[in-house]
């Protein structure tokens, strides 16, 4: 039961932060979802730090890892919104923004996770 509560609290916190980021940064005029992009990239970096610390000498407890990785990062990052926004680009025939958003999100997301894990190993 404690694990469920940790995921619930972390997920709720991450979801609220993602919502606020989207309200602040998603551009209605251009349709470019900067808030979602930033949430996914920073969430990728953050989960790399969390899992890197958890793997390095058990620097984080299993409960902290559950709260932060499964909970917070799970609520903060949003694959479903990312896919929907790409669908909107395709439906509008905006292939350039579709390609840029899709490519950069995946490439920079991977770089963020690997960079964070590398940085944690260096500490």
Report the C-alpha gap between 31 and 47 in whole angstroms: 27
Question: What DSSP string describes 9-44?
Answer: HHHHHHHHHHHHHHHHHB-TTT--BHHHHHHHHHHH
Cross-strand bridge partners of residue 33: 26
Buried b / exposed e along 28-66 (16+ C-beta atoms within 10 A) = eeeebbebbbbbbbbbbbbbbbbbbbbeeeeebeeeebb
Is 77 one of the annotated binding-site residues? yes
Is 81 one of the annotated binding-site residues? no
Residues that constitute the known binding site: 74, 77
Residues that constitute the known binding site for Na(+): 74, 77
């Amino acid at each position: 039961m404690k694990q469920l509560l940790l995921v619930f609290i972390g997920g709720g916190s991450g979801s609220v932060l993602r919502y606020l980021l989207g309200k602040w940064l998603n551009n209605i005029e251009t349709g470019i979802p900067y808030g979602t992009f930033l949430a996914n990239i920073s969430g990728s970096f953050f989960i790399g730090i969390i899992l890197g610390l958890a793997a390095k000498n058990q620097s984080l407890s299993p409960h902290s890892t559950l709260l932060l990785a499964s909970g917070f990062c799970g609520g903060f990052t949003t694959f479903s919104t990312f896919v929907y926004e790409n669908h909107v680009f395709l439906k509008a025939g905006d292939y350039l923004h579709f390609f840029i958003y899709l490519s950069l999100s995946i490439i920079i997301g991977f770089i963020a996770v690997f960079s964070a894990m590398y940085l944690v190993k260096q500490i």
